[in-house]
Every structure is written in C-alpha cells, then in structure tokens.
Amino acid sequence: MRRLTLIAAALALFSGTAAAQSDYPTRPITVIVPFTAGGPTDTVARLVAEPMTRALGQQVIIENVGGAGGTLGARRVATADPDGYTLLLHHIGQATSASLYRKLSYSPAKDFAGIGLITDVPMTIISRADFPATSIKELIETIKTKKQDITLANAGVGAVSHLCGMLLQSALGVQVTTVPYKGTGPAMTDILGSQVDILCDQTTNTTGHIGTGKVKAFAVTTKERLKTLPNLPTMDESGVKGFEVVAWHGLYAPKGTPKPIVDKLAAALQGALKDEKVIARLADLGAEPVSQEAATPAALDKYLADEIAKWKPVIESAGVYAD
Amino acid sequence: MELLGDLGLGFATALSPYNLLYCFIGVLLGTAVGVLPGLGPVATIAMLLPITFGLPPVSALIMLAGIYYGAQYGGSTTAILINLPGESSSVVTAIDGYQMAKQGRAGPALATAALGSFFAGTVATFLLVLAAPPLAEVALKFGPAEYFSLMVLGLVASVALASGSLLKAFTMIVLGLLLGLVGSDVETGTQRFTFDMPELADGLNFVALSMGVFGLGEILRNLEHEHSRSVMVKHVSGLMLSKADFKRIIGPVLRGTGLGSVLGILPGGGAMLASFAAYTMEKKISPNRAQFGKGAIEGVAAPESANNAGAQTSFIPMLTLGIPSNPVMALMIGAMIIQGITPGPNVVTDEPELFWGMIVSMWIGNLMLVLLNLPLIGLWVRMLTIPYHLLFPAIIAFCCIGAFSVNNSVFDVFIMAVFGVVGYTLIKLDFEPAPLLLGFVLGPMLEENLRRAMLLSRGSPMVFITHPLSLGLLLVAAALLLIVVLPSVRSKREEAFSE
C-alpha cells in the first residue's frame, strides 16, 4: 500500500513537471544582462526581449547585473534553478572569461545550456587621423618595424577591443605598447586627440567617426566585407589568414533546463531575429541577426566551445588575467 | 552667430514640454531638500541616480542639475526662518538672515536671497555659455600628462580650500584615494583590496558610498539631537524690497556673483566655499559692516548670490574636461556614464543637444525657482514641520532602494550601510566628508592618467615637465601648496573660516 502511494506520488510529481513543461511559460521570464543598462549588450537584449515576449505570451524582463567583466551576472544564472525562468544574455566574454579568470566559481563551458546565437557585431581596425600609414598593408608594415613604438588602445582587460588587440599581436608576431582605458569612450577620445595610434573596436563605436574622417579606418575583422563599410578589406584578404574577431552575443539557460523549454525559447528567439524592427535596429548598430541555423542550441554550444578553445592560447600567451 | 544657433538649439531642447517638466521636478525637489535640514543635494542626487536610467540623457541631467542649484535657493529659506542652514552653503546666510527675520524683516531677507540668486544664476549661466566651448576646444589637446597635472592641481586646491583643519582635509583626500584603489588594476587586471569578493572587482560602488557617507551619515547625526525646529515666522509678508534695500544689495550681489563664479570653477570649490568667501569679503568692505551679525541685508545678499553663481560655474570643468570639481559634479559624471555618454571635451561637439539644452535649462530653472520660492514660501515653511521620525525612515528606505537598483545587488546596500557608519564617525570627529568623495573619484583618474602618460612616454617622468600645459598646472599646484603652508597665510586662513 505504502509503495503504491509512493509510486502514485511519484507519478503525480512527474506528470506535474511534464505539465509544467508544456505550459511553460506560466510566469515572467528574467533575462540577466551581466552589464549595466544602456550599454551595447543591454541594447541587444532589450531588442529581442520585445518580440520574444509576444511569442511566449509572458513578459521577458531584462535585469542588469553588472560587474567583474560580466562574471557576476553569469554566475547568478549558472547557479539559478534550471526551470527556464532565469536566462543569460552574454557576449564573447562568456567564452573568454573561461581563460581570463582563473578563480571563476562556475564553468562557462559546463554550467550553461545554449539557446541560440543572436548577433555578430563586426569590428574595425582604426588609427588616429594623422597616422602615416594609408592602407592595411602599410599599417602592418609599420607595426612590424616600429614594434613597441606603436601604441595600441583598448577598453580594458577582457574588452573585445583588448581581445582583438591580443589576437592582432599574436597574428603578426610582434609586441606593441598596449594602453588600456576604462571603456571605449575614453579610448576613442584619445584616438581623436592623437594621443594613441591604433584601436580595434566594434562598428557600433567606430562607424560614425570613420564617416566623418576623424579617424583612419584600415580593415574589418569579419570573414567577409561589410555592406556598411564596403571599401574596407578584411584582414584575411590582406594577408593575415584566418584573422577573425566578432563581438557575438548568445542566449543561455542554466545547465539542466528541460529540452522542451530550451527548444521553445530557441523558437521564440528565431522568431525575434526575423522581426523587421529588430533587423532595422541592429542595422543601426552596424550588426545583423545571425542565420536561423545559428540561432539554435546546438550551434551556440558548438560555437562557445570553439571560441573557448580559440582564445585560451591567445590569452595564456599574452599572460593577462582579469583576477 | 554660431553661438546664437547653439543657444537656439538649447532653448528648443530645454523648452520641450518633457524637459520643462523634468526641470521643474528637479528644482522642486532641490528646493525641498534645500529646505529640509539633514538632507543635501549630494544624497538626493545619489538616490535619484538609479532611476535616471530610464530617462533620456538630456532630461536626466536637466533634472539632476535642477536639484543642485534648487537646493541653493531652498537652503536659504531654512537659514533665514529658523536659523538652521538647510544646506551647507547657507551656513553664513543664517547669521544675518535670522536676525532680519527676528526683526520682522523675513520678507525682504527672503526676497533678497531669491533675487540675488537669480541674478547670480543668470550671470553665471551666461559665463558658462561663453567659456565652456573654447575651453573644451583647448581640452581636446589635453593628453594624459595634462590631465594628470590638472588633477594634482585639483586635489591640492581642494585641500587648500577646504574649511577647517588642513591636516584633516588632507587625511580625507588620502582616505578617498585609497578607497578609490579598490578593484581591478586598469592595466593588468590584478585585484586590489578585493578580499576575493568578485563584487568588489569593479571597485566600491560610487552611489552606495556617497549615499552612505552623505545620506545615512547625516541622518544618524541628526537623530542624535532632534532639534526643536520652531518656526518663528508663520506668515511671511512684505516680499517687496524697498528702494533703500535695493540700493544696499546691488554692490554685494555683484561682488558675490563675481567671487562665486570664480570660486565655482576651481576644483574643490563650489557653492559652499563661495558663500563663505563672499560673506567674509563683504564684512571687510561694506560701509554697513557694523551691522553685520545684527541683521545686515548685505550679509544675505552676498553669500546667496555667491553660492548660486558657484553652483552654476562648477559645471564648467565637468562639462568641458570631464573632471568633477565637487561631489555633486562627480555624481553628474556618474549620471552621464550611466547614459552611455563619455564625459570630456567631446560632449560639446558630440552631444550639442545635451550640452546646450542643459545650460539653457539652468537659466529657465532659475526663473522657476524665483517663482517657486517667493509666492510659495508658506508651503515650504509648513514642510519644515514634518517630524523627523516620519521623514528619516522614508529617506533610509529610498537610499536602500537606490543603492540596490544600480546593479540589482544586495552587496551594494551593505556597502552603503558600512559607509553610513563611516560617514557618521567622520562627522563626529569633525572631518569634512566632501574631500573624501573627491579623492575617491579623482584617485582612479589620477592613477590612470599617470600610468598612461608614463606608458606613452616609455617610462620617462620628464613628460610632465616638457609639456608646457602640464608644467604650468604643476607650478600652480606647487605655488598653492607653498602658500597654504606658509605660517602667516595659515593663520589668516583659519581666521577666515572660523568666522
């Protein structure tokens, strides 16, 4: 009798969770953005949250949990209940934090279930307006001959501009003088004021200044040329084979989130990436939504693993850590 | 001509109904916190900072600026009516203002304060219009070496100009600098003073720290002695100034405005210093100096003009260089960063709407304040009767919500609580907390620019001397330091502040 009750209870419990899964979502979903409100990652999150809210029939709320290069917010999701009500929207930092932080209390590779990639923000290599080089070939020549006399700005340890700078140095096999700033804004101010030579940063930050001629642009860091900056060659076609850095964004659930829920979220994300308004707003930022095939759990899981593997040797050989 | 176009843009921005509303909210709140003793503009702006996330940048900054100069108006009301400065910059106004009120001349005293403030605000705003764009032009040529030297000057000046003991001011600056070191090293990412807590990796939260020191600290102190705030003047009448009064205040208002404008620009300066200096000067040169302390109208006119002028011109270094000259400006910079705007010389060219809109709104805000303060004086008087035991719990609740909402982090609320105790202890020991906050903000900037300058010069410290601008700034700093430590000046200085 007692055993029967137990089985009945177990069955009831099981059907309960099954019902919960098919009903999902029954309450608002929180997407944690591990950066302050108003930044580029926050913008991406708020853009996709709106069409996802419509598709899921529940409010998708953005919560900004900034600090420590995005690891505070990511940690909160890594340890959250895997019920599909707490998600993480993170950028390339999700992959690089695995190597940049040696004392991380969670694992970016193991503690998350990918939902899908969202967008790639391309990057550009620019210099101060009065820098002597006129083409990417000349720029590479100059860097190789002047080495430490070249100053390379970045937006701080772990920033995409820092990653791009590290990759550039390792690809060219030279060490230049790296000048860190707190954020892209001040770094850009010093490029405009001709205090530093080079900066590699997202189109979001650079396209405007390239347009007005206040900075010199040399190349884009994507595999293919951009529609918005068609005159800029890729690094790959300029002789630096395989050079690619993009500030990509992905949506994650905690590991252990039931597959039906993850799939439902992925479908909502795919729908959001087809939304006209999302496409238009991303274009304003110099970015595009990823293809429908990339906005899937499998694609993100694989991409994350690839990116972790790609950046590990670059970061370790540079010997720069964020903790 | 270009200036007219820019001002046109400013008026178009500031006069949009939305921005007018936020300007009004700002000056209204500012007056309210100015009137209420125990709550200053720093704590108020810190509390409101998180909610400005959702506003457009222009509206947010217009509102926050309104709180600052609004508090200069409100502070004088309390000072005059109950001999209790509602705000630190109104301390000297209380001396003669309260005497006037006792003699039944509260109306003229209030009118003098409001009109003097309005005149000073208008002049200082105009100065801002003229001075800021060319200064931003020069600032574009500033490199790390120049910024470093400028901040050295700023820190030296804030010690020199601080009220009270030099040693104590210096201690506060150094403590602030040390607190500013908490977090990740900008260049290497090495953790400093973080005790392995990832929450500290980005440093102590500025909002939590300032709310703790200025908000909670002040409240704790006020709880110690619940003042009997008897408002002796229930009905204020005779707000019009007589011809004789008018004649008497013209000189002090002009001098106060001039002195306040200059002192506002200086780092470490701002409204409070301006009011002290103007009162002291007027006491020395006024033909009616015998009346000072017994209800001289000049003793209200000069400091009230000066504090408002100082409040306005302290925006100049903030808007053109991105460097705060006082804690309020540090908060304004924080507000800009929250909005994704990089403070610095580029603001004038990149965000003309913000820049000009904000400046024009200051003038409009000053106009609103005259209207708010004179006819509505009765309302403010009544607000003074709100008992502390209702007011303080509400403020503390707001502080907690504010500290939490910056990063949605309970950790920051604890930080605020800790610094509330720190702030209270400092006040008890007679340490002025303003230099601490200035050190906290300028410290990381100072370090960053020092290291960046050295990095760019490949390790040669000569860069600070070979750049003429940098050299000039360092020389001024050295001279200032020398002057302050000279024994004869020191005794004069102490005498000036003790008045």
Cis amide bond preceding A25, omega within 30: yes
Q: List domains and CATH numbers for chain A.
A: 2-121+247-318 (3.40.190.150), 123-238 (3.40.190.10)
Give A-chain residues touching B199 at CB under 8 angstroms.
67-68, 72
Over the stretch A238-294, which tens digit does the pLDDT of each residue have? 988 889 998 899 999 999 999 999 999 999 999 999 999 889 888 877 788 888 888
Residue pair A184/A159 in contact (Cβ under 8 Å)? The answer is: yes
The token pair that represents A179 in the structure block: 């000048």
Backbone angles phi, psi at A134, to 5 degrees: -115, -15
Letter string b/e over residues B4-33, b meaning 16 or more CB atoms within 10 A of that residue's CB: eebeebbbebbeeeebbebbbbbbbbbbbb
Q: How far is CA A113 from the centre of its chain?
A: 16
Q: What mean pLDDT do residues B37-42 have?
A: 75
Q: Do A321 and B189 lie within an 8 Å CB cutoff? A: yes
pLDDT score recorded for residue B134 = 86
To 5 degrees, how large is the angle CA B202–CA A45–CA B194? 10
Q: Do B338 and A36 lie within an 8 Å CB cutoff? A: yes
Q: Do A72 and B456 lie within an 8 Å CB cutoff? A: no
Give A-chain residues touching B202 at CB under 8 angstroms.
66-68
In the chain, the amino acid numbered B205 is N
Give B-chain residues touching A64 at CB under 8 angstroms.
407-408
Beta strand residue intervals within A96-246, DSSP E: 112-121, 123-128, 151-154, 177-180, 198-202, 215-220
CB B228: neighbour CB atoms within 10 A? 6
> B76 falls in which pLDDT band (50, 70, 90)?
confident
Give A-chain residues touching B445 at CB under 8 angstroms.
none
In sequence order, what are the beta bridge partners of A289? Answer: A119
In the chain, the amino acid numbered B95 is I
The token pair that represents B208 in the structure block: 């939590």
Start-to-end CA span in chain A (Å): 58
d(CA B326, CA B134): 22
The partner residue sitting opposite B199, judged by closest CB among A72, A182, A193, is A72
pLDDT score recorded for residue B269 = 62
Instruction: Look at chain B and report how many structural domains it folds into.
Output: 1
Q: Is B183 on the interface with A (CB under 8 A)?
A: no
Q: Is A157 on the interface with B (CB under 8 A)?
A: yes
Q: What mean pLDDT do residues B109-119 have?
A: 90
Q: Do B198 and A183 lie within an 8 Å CB cutoff? A: no
Backbone angles phi, psi at A266, to 5 degrees: -65, -40
- β-bridge pairing A86-91 and A29-33: parallel
d(CA A265, CA A253): 9
Q: Chain B interface, mutation test: which of A41, A99, A182, A206, most B Cβ atoms within 10 Å?
A: A182
Over the stretch A209-232, which tens digit does the pLDDT of each residue have? 888 888 999 999 998 898 888 899
Q: Do A193 and B142 lie within an 8 Å CB cutoff? A: yes
- Helix, strand, or coil (residue A159): coil
Radius of gyration of the CA atoms of chain A, in A:
22
Over the stretch A67-88, which tens digit does the pLDDT of each residue have? 777 888 899 899 899 999 999 9
d(CA B166, CA B493): 10
Closest CA to A124 of A240, A222, A249: A222
Give A-chain residues touching B453 at CB under 8 angstroms.
none
Beta strand residue intervals within B188-330, DSSP E: 191-192
Q: Do A67 and B408 lie within an 8 Å CB cutoff? A: no
Q: Do B189 and A100 lie within an 8 Å CB cutoff? A: yes
d(CA A7, CA A15): 12
d(CA A271, CA A137): 42
Q: Is B53 on the interface with A (CB under 8 A)?
A: yes
* Residue B472, pLDDT above cutoff 60: yes
The token pair that represents A87 in the structure block: 């998600």
The token pair that represents B496 in the structure block: 């000036």
Q: Is B198 on the interface with A (CB under 8 A)?
A: yes
In the chain, the amino acid numbered B497 is F
Question: What is the interface size between A and B, counted as CB pairs within 8 Å?
Answer: 96
d(CA B160, CA B113): 28
Residue pair B405/B51 in contact (Cβ under 8 Å)? The answer is: yes
The token pair that represents B280 in the structure block: 């002291």
Residue pair A189/B344 in contact (Cβ under 8 Å)? The answer is: yes
Q: Is B459 on the interface with A (CB under 8 A)?
A: no
Letter string b/e over residues B121-151, b meaning 16 or more CB atoms within 10 A of that residue's CB: bbbbbebbbeebbebbeebbebbbbbbbbbb
- β-bridge pairing A198-202 and A29-33: unpaired
The token pair that represents A158 in the structure block: 């772990």
Q: Do A186 and B340 lie within an 8 Å CB cutoff? A: no
Closest CA to B27 of B269, B357, B364: B364
Q: Do A65 and B408 lie within an 8 Å CB cutoff? A: yes
* CB within 8 Å of A49: residues ≥ 6 apart: A31, A60, A61, A62
Q: Mind telling me how many Å the CA of A11 is from chain B's nearest CA?
A: 39
List the single residue in A with minimal CA-CA distance to B447. Answer: A181
List the single residue in B with minimal CA-CA distance to A101. Answer: B189
Q: Mind telling me how many Å the CA of B177 is from chain A's nearest CA?
A: 18
d(CA B295, CA B102): 9
Over the stretch B55-74, which tens digit does the pLDDT of each residue have? 888 999 999 999 988 888 88
Restricting to A residues 70-99, those with a Cβ less than 8 Å away from any Cβ of B are: 71-72, 75
Radius of gyration of the CA atoms of chain B, in A:
22
pLDDT score recorded for residue B268 = 63
* Residue A92, pLDDT above cutoff 60: yes
Choice among A80-94, B164-178, B217-231 with the minimum mean pLDDT: B217-231
Q: Do B141 and A193 lie within an 8 Å CB cutoff? A: yes
Over the stretch A40-59, which tens digit does the pLDDT of each residue have? 788 889 889 999 999 999 88
The residue ranking higher by pLDDT, B390 or B28, is: B28
Closest CA to A250 of A49, A94, A136, A40: A94
d(CA B351, CA B320): 12
Q: Chain B interface, mutation test: which of A179, A209, A212, A285, most B Cβ atoms within 10 Å?
A: A179
Q: Chain B interface, mutation test: which of A71, A86, A105, A190, most B Cβ atoms within 10 Å?
A: A190
Q: Which of B9-18, B184-193, B270-279, B280-289 has the highest mean pLDDT?
A: B9-18
Residue pair B151/B446 in contact (Cβ under 8 Å)? The answer is: yes
pLDDT score recorded for residue A16 = 45
Burial class (CB in 10 A: 0-12, 13-18, 19+), A317: exposed
* CB within 8 Å of B190: residues ≥ 6 apart: B184
Q: Is B407 on the interface with A (CB under 8 A)?
A: yes
d(CA A98, CA B495): 60
Residue pair A46/A76 in contact (Cβ under 8 Å)? The answer is: no
List the single residue in A with minimal CA-CA distance to B195. Answer: A323
d(CA A101, CA A91): 16
- CA distances B146 to A130, B153, B180, Å, are 21, 11, 21
List the single residue in A with minimal CA-CA distance to B410. Answer: A65
Give the residue numbers spanning the domain of B109. 2-498
DSSP A55-71: HHTS-EEEEE---GGGH
Q: What mean pLDDT do residues A299-305 have?
A: 93
> A14 falls in which pLDDT band (50, 70, 90)?
very low
List the single residue in A with minimal CA-CA distance to B183. Answer: A68
Q: Do A38 and B344 lie within an 8 Å CB cutoff? A: no
d(CA B80, CA B85): 8
The token pair that represents A63 in the structure block: 């919560």
Q: Do A66 and B407 lie within an 8 Å CB cutoff? A: yes
Q: Is B432 on the interface with A (CB under 8 A)?
A: no
